[in-house]
Structure 1
Amino acid sequence: MIGSPARRYAALAVICLAELLVVLDNTIVNVALPSIGVDLRTNVSGLQWVVDAYTLTFAGLLLMCGYLGDRYGRRRIMAVGLAGVAVMSVAGANAESLGQVIAARAAMGVFAAAVFPATLALIINIFTDRRERSLAIAAWTAMAGFAIAIGPMTGGWLLEHFSWHSVFWINVPVAVVAIVAVAVLVPESKAATVGRLDPVGIALSITGIPVLVWAIIEAPRYGWTSPATLVAMGVGAAALAGFIRWELHTAAPLLDMRLFRNRRFSLPALAIAVGYFSMFGFLFLITQYFQGVREYTPLEFGIASLPFAVSVAVGAPVATLLAQRIGTTAVITFGLLLTGVGLYLGGLVDVDSNYLTDVLPSMVSMALGLAIVQGPATESIMSSLPLDEAGAGSAVNDTTREIGGTLGVAVLGSIVASYYVSTVSPVIDRVPVSFMNDDEKSFAKATVLSVLEIRKREIPALLEPQREQLITAMKTTVLHGSHTASLVATGAVVVCAVIVALFLPWAPDRENSVLFGWRGGDPANPDPTDEHAPAELP
């Protein structure tokens, strides 16, 4: 193990701080979108790209950045990423147009991709004792879920006291502190041996993944069967197919594709993707519920969703330790099923549902289920890797999260939007122009969050009943769409639970190969497809 326990856990705290910055920045901007839209006079589509520009570059460059960290030093790549996030946050805070905000967010995603894979890869290299490593991974997992959940509360508090620029400014001091702490407390690590650089693999990965993510993001707007969506998906799939073929035949691959033959690597990655599909979709739906249906302010929304964050923080370490006793498969399967229960309960919520008896159980069940899946699944993935490939393996873990989360928002959001637009549009079209102009009608058709603006508008008392009827119709409609979306998400996690239960080995994993850089099989002739052979002793 590296250094004293105090030194290792100090390094873990710094790594989690860097992780918090990246993950929080991926969610905190959401609550500032209405303020950005008003100040910069933009439409809903433009605001969506403030979020999606970050997601696109972040997901697309994770694999490359993890690979570069393995080659040139994970701490070094992380420090570069932290510095870049700080600089681009200053650019975003000083932006004077929507285009500048989107450009800053895209650049922040590039540098965040340099930070995120390094966090988990560094943990694997610092903590080589299995129990300590499991606890460290649990802390990492809990921080990721916690950061996602507290984003709305943090953003809400900032907007209560400052302008939307504050969601960018807050990154700067955190990044500066993290850079200094990383330099002082985090040891450098990189692959002991590396082959030649794989420029073809890099080019194919940064083509295929971003194009595929773009297709997923834009599919709800253009249509899932539109030419633009189908062409983009075809190009992305072709690039990724070429990537897989190249990686299987090149002598020094960016990612050893044979790892996916190991069920302890591939099936937990699937569980993480489906878990984030459900979580990001759930957060999308719950945002509309709290701010559109219950009409909470951003800060009230953040406080109401805090139990979600607490449940993730509590569940992750407990599940990771439990997996060591009863096996990863049992824990992941239970977590997926518990996630499904939370999703199903969330779909039953209506306009008059009580927060404590109806909404809270759904959130807690969903969050605990996700936490139970994430910790053991991440530990299983990283334990299947040799130390030299920790960065690339971490990037696979992170990429599955991002693609799963992007799909969750796109698919579940499409279901809700399709039902909402088709049902609400005729009602809104009948509203007199004296009450709502064309721009206001367009916004109301796009999202139930427009309820807040409709409620603020001063109107004659005579029209008050009609306004209440319109608001009730909008709320009821979005909840009907959310019910269907919740059933789809529930089905996805249940199917995944069945797959994991059937094909992931139930016996607890033996002493971890990552301790000695072993991949399995005969120690004299390593074979990554053999999952059960004993690890080679030093």
Structure 2
Amino acid sequence: MSSIPHNGAPGPSPGDLAAVSGRRWWILAVACLTQLMVVLDGSIVNIALPTAQQDLGFSDGNRQWVITGYALVFGALLLVGGRLGDLLGWRATFLTGLAGFAVASAIGGAANSFGILLAARIGQGGFGALLAPAALALVTSAFTDTRERHRAFALFSAVTGAGGAIGLVLGGALAEFLSWRWCLYVNLPLVLIAAVGGLWLLERQQAGEQPPLDLRGALLSVTGLVALVYGLSNAETAGWSDGSTLTWIFVGLGLLAAFVWVQARVEAPLLPLGIVLDRNRGGSLIALSVAAAGLSSLFLFLVYYLSTILGYRPLTTGVAFLPLVGAIVVAAQAGPFLIGQVGPRVPVTAGFLIASVSLFSFTRLGLASTYTGDVLPGLLLVGAGIGLVMAPAITAATDRVEHAHAGVASATVTTVQQVGYSIGTAVFSAVAAGAADEYLSTRTGHDPRVVAQSLVESYTAAFGCAGWMFVLGALVCFLVLRSGPLTRDPDSPITVAH
């Protein structure tokens, strides 16, 4: 097979070759597997973390960095990873990311100290920042037919939305029956399958005339995102009024503002601003950020509720989230029909409103609540809502983007989700802590039921806050997103020139 000419060189795109060879659905399978691996690695260690802490003997203060280290580097490098894919070719970027992710996972699984484990998680985040944009960019380019493209994004969106819950299930099973180390080792067979698929399916790309990497933009985006995500993470432990928290957040916002200023003026920007200024794409990025923020409340506080209040073991806690996975997958399949008929505004708005009803129902959880009667209906409802949001939003966020910018557009999708998740975790953690303190401030003694009820009060306060966030997201998306079906003419993409 002929090689794919790259930016500036004439010739067929990866999508054209995939369509001719009939391999586009196999490319989708490899992309979905890769996306699943990257997403679940953000949550798979959560349940196994207490065991790892006991085994390696690190402190409670260091424990959060096993999760934050991954999120920090992953979120900060996504835009750079997406741009490198556009410049160097997605095949090379994809395979490099897989190799590095495998090495980091193996080192983490064999770690005999906290320092090695943390370094491995940082390595996973860095190479994951190469993989995630490449996976979405491959799907974006492989499917040019409108109907097929919508179906492909429905499946990819289902994996994205359900990946965190699958990580909880898998992490619980591995921690209970094998070892916490297998929460990292499990990536090795997944990488092997994806690498074989990548070598078989993806064409080697020739470097055409390439614009230089925007180094100023890269530096500003990386440092800005690191400062912002670090500040938000610090708010979980130090609080929102802490001086270091506010300093890091304001520094991050200032650097990101400078990044936008630079992008509007350089000849070859890291992120062409047209990608985010289009109404449908911009509104979809807002939707994905809000969806990720709201899901963070479930993956954090519902896990706590099931384990601390209902007394579930790690595996049982993970399995309890399976209905959420099923609901997301089923609802996402309605995305192709809805976005083809009415566009993104209706399903995204409706999805947020449905999900908000679910989260408001969780505010009624108590010490005597049951999984079947009180948790399961809400999980099914929020899964249906998120499924309706994710597929249309991801489709619209990458709609009619020039082939040369597919990688950075895909990276932007993942970046807003990562930042949204970090914001949600920090905000809801602060809300939960405040609710628990307020409840205990009016009571004395150490009655175990009082302590347990304070925990319930903290969880339900976070769910209520997330519910109102979804209501606000529904309003904003209704106002910003356009009505009418999306159309995609691969020969006439929307320009994203700055």
Query: Which interval holds the TM-score relative to the shorter structure?
Result: over 0.9
Q: Which of 223, 234, 257 is equivalent to 2:239?
A: 223
Higher mean alpha-carbon deviation, 346-355 vs 88-97, is at 346-355
Matched with 1:98 is 114
Provide the C-alpha distance between the structure 2 equivalents of 1:113 and 1:46, rounded to a whole number of angstroms.
23
Provide the C-alpha distance between the structure 2 equivalents of 1:298 and 1:280, rounded to a whole number of angstroms.
18
Give the alignment's TM-score, normalised by structure 1. 0.86
The residue type equivalent to 1:516 in the other structure is: D
Provide the C-alpha distance between the structure 1 equivalents of 2:249 and 2:219, rounded to a whole number of angstroms.
17
Q: How far apart are 1:146 and its partner, in Å?
A: 2.2
Matched with 1:271 is 287
Provide the C-alpha distance between the structure 1 equivalents of 2:307 and 2:63, rounded to a whole number of angstroms.
17
Q: Counterparts in 2 of 1:397-436, with a 5 A limit?
A: 397-421=413-437, 423=439
Q: Which of 301, 310, 319 is equivalent to 1:285?
A: 301
Provide the C-alpha distance between the structure 2 equivalents of 1:103 and 1:418, rounded to a whole number of angstroms.
33
Matched with 1:457 is none
Distance change in 2, residues 1:498/1:41 (3 Å): same
Higher mean alpha-carbon deviation, 220-229 vs 277-286, is at 220-229
Provide the C-alpha distance between the structure 1 equivalents of 2:237 and 2:89, rounded to a whole number of angstroms.
41
The answer on whether the counterparts of 2:439 and 2:457 sit within 8 Å (CA) in structure 1 is: no
Distance change in 2, residues 1:63/1:527 (3 Å): closer
The root-mean-square deviation of aligned C-alpha atoms, in Å, is: 2.0
Provide the C-alpha distance between the structure 2 equivalents of 1:343 and 1:75, rounded to a whole number of angstroms.
41
Q: Which of 67, 82, 90 is equivalent to 2:83?
A: 67
Q: Counterparts in 2 of 1:77-116, with a 5 A limit?
A: 77-116=93-132
The residue type equivalent to 2:359 in the other structure is: L
Provide the C-alpha distance between the structure 1 equivalents of 2:412 and 2:496, rounded to a whole number of angstroms.
20
1:518 aligns with 2:493: yes
Q: Spell out, residue by residue over 1:203-237, the C-alpha distance to the aligned partner (whole angstroms, 9 max, x if none).
A: 11111011100000111222212211121112111
Matched with 1:256 is 272
Provide the C-alpha distance between the structure 2 equivalents of 1:516 and 1:95, rounded to a whole number of angstroms.
50
Q: Spell out, residue by residue over 1:362-419, the C-alpha distance to the aligned partner (whole angstroms, 9 max, x if none).
A: 1111111111101001100100411211110111110010011111111111211233
Q: Counterparts in 2 of 1:124-163, with a 5 A limit?
A: 124-163=140-179
The residue type equivalent to 1:483 in the other structure is: T
Matched with 1:317 is 333
The residue type equivalent to 1:357 in the other structure is: G
Tell which has more relative contact order, 1 or 2 (C-alpha 8 A, sep 6+): 2
Provide the C-alpha distance between the structure 1 equivalents of 2:341 and 2:19, rounded to a whole number of angstroms.
27
The answer on whether the counterparts of 2:280 and 2:480 sit within 8 Å (CA) in structure 1 is: no
Matched with 1:459 is none
Matched with 1:479 is 456
The residue type equivalent to 2:278 in the other structure is: N
Matched with 1:201 is 217
1:15 aligns with 2:31: yes
Q: Counterparts in 2 of 1:32-47, with a 5 A limit?
A: 32-47=48-63
Q: How far apart are 1:170 and its partner, in Å?
A: 1.1
Q: What secondary structure sits across from 1:96 in the alignment?
A: coil
Q: How far apart are 1:422 and its partner, in Å?
A: 5.8
Q: How far apart are 1:177 and its partner, in Å?
A: 2.1
Q: How far apart are 1:351 and its partner, in Å?
A: 1.6
The answer on whether the counterparts of 1:121 and 1:390 sit within 8 Å (CA) in structure 2 is: yes
Matched with 1:454 is none
Q: How far apart are 1:4 and its partner, in Å?
A: 4.7
Aligned residues: 482
The answer on whether the counterparts of 1:15 and 1:182 sit within 8 Å (CA) in structure 2 is: no
- Percent identity, aligned pairs only? 32
Runs of 4+ that moved beyond 6 A: 189-192, 425-428
The answer on whether the counterparts of 1:388 and 1:517 sit within 8 Å (CA) in structure 2 is: no
